[in-house]
Amino acid sequence: MSRRINLEYSSYELSNGLKVYVQPDHRSPVISYQTWVGAGSANDPSHRTGMAHLFEHLMFKGTQRMPEGEFDRRIEEMGGRTNAATWLDWTQFYVDTPSRCFETVLGLEFDRIANLTIDPESLETEREVILNERGERVDDDPDGLMAERLWHMAFGDHPYGQPTIGWQEHIESITVQDCHDFYRSWYRPEQIMIVVAGDIEPDIAFRAIDDTYSQLERRQDTVPDLTDPVHPKHHKSDKVAITTGGERVLIGLQAPPGTEADSPTLEVLNEILFAGDSSHMERTLVTESEVAAAVYGFVPTLCKASLYEVGIDCRPGRTANEALAIFDGVLEEVSLNGLTEKDLLKARNRIETRLYRELQTAQSRAQALGYWGVVAGNPGHIFERAERLGQVGLDDLHSSINRYLQQGARVVVQGTPVGGEAQ
């Protein structure tokens, strides 16, 4: 990057292993208080997928001290907002409020970490909500259905091959005891990270968090390490029936862990290939050939190796096979003829602009530190990644094209409109 990111933060670790990161910024009287748990859907029991996502829901239920709905009501009274998210490597909870409410938020967040109530009624309520969510976002949604099929084809029974929302039969089978076991195993101080960004002094935040969270006891047992996924050795393909007007194709290519040097290289390459009307894929697939209505590329940054995901939505009357042929043609062209310094500079500038824009709010700064704190074990990895993004050269891009986009086996899912041929 042409300018080094300035995101100063302080760190502290409690005696029980809980980690705290504070990023002060006094420009506005607000804070984002985030709790990151090092347990995502990749940490679900193999016979109970969906547990991490279930806890994203359960954490908004009642505690031993606070009835259901009180948490949301208190946050709303402060003029704040709260939400949560789950993916493969993590679960995140955030509260954005005026900075004067810090101690109140601290008490509320500690209460649900330490005293969550898990009872049959709460479980059944959230089970029904999640089953409906699965129906809307996966079973009845072409994008969700195809993505689920793609990752499962690629990684099978490895945790990265299991859907974050969980398989329906597993969701239906989760018991209260399953919930207690997961809560005890993962919602423990060694797996928790508190990140506070905004209008607060680090020493004040550290002292208050230590006084409160030090009540949690460190566990002596350890959690299992996540094994490395194995990418397919050969090409795989499948078809699914979808409710759209045109065919779709989803391609899974090999992607390295988010902490490896090749990951930012792929991010730059993806920017060149897919970002904007003048990008290679957009221009060729959408503008010139008019085979596709839309294209996208997505490079995940996960703890382990994963999938570089490419999606192509075909225009009515055009086929996924046509789109795949053009896609391969573009890859062959850039492999043979290379990319230009102009391509590289434009991509770097776009990424840099986006990165600075995404760090403008307390919430986004806390999220950046929390995310890399879980994925890399070091919130400061955001600086290392930014540095690497600015060092990517044309030789790096050419090497990544050959290694990840051409040589490795790919996984392909074709979506065929209902009434067409599907398996």
Query: Measured on CA atoms in the order 254, 255, 257, 260, is the torsion positive or negative?
Result: positive
pLDDT in tens, 247-290: 999 999 999 999 999 999 999 999 999 998 889 999 999 999 99
Same domain, 101 and 26: yes
Same domain, 301 and 396: yes
When pLDDT is cut at 50, 70 and 90, the band that residue 407 belongs to is low
Same domain, 204 and 276: no
Q: pLDDT value at position 422?
A: 44
When pLDDT is cut at 50, 70 and 90, the band that residue 1 belongs to is very low
Same domain, 55 and 141: yes
Residue 420 has pLDDT above 60, yes or no: no
In a domain, 363, yes or no: yes
Q: pLDDT value at position 423?
A: 39
Residues in Cβ contact with 74 at an 8 Å cutoff, skipping those fewer than 6 apart: 104, 108
Same domain, 271 and 405: yes
- Beta-bridge partners for 356: none
In a domain, 18, yes or no: yes
Same domain, 386 and 287: yes
Same domain, 194 and 288: no
Type of residue numbered 66: M
Same domain, 136 and 270: no
Residue 89 has pLDDT above 70, yes or no: yes
Q: What angle do CA 38, 383, 354 make, to 5 degrees?
A: 95
When pLDDT is cut at 50, 70 and 90, the band that residue 124 belongs to is very high
Domain ranges, residue 86:
10-213
In a domain, 225, yes or no: no
CB 390 within 8 A of CB 376: no
Last residue of a domain, one of 147, 181, 213: 213
Mean pLDDT throughout 291-295? Answer: 97
In a domain, 353, yes or no: yes
**CATH classification at residue 292:** 3.30.830.10
Q: Is 99 exposed, middle or buried (0-12, 13-18, 19+ CB in 10 A)?
A: middle
Same domain, 88 and 167: yes
Residue 2 has pLDDT above 60, yes or no: no
Same domain, 266 and 314: yes
Residue 3 has pLDDT above 60, yes or no: no
Residue 7 has pLDDT above 50, yes or no: yes
What mean pLDDT is reported for the chain?
93
Q: pLDDT value at position 36?
A: 98
pLDDT in tens, 212-229: 999 999 988 888 889 999
Domains identified in the chain, total number: 2
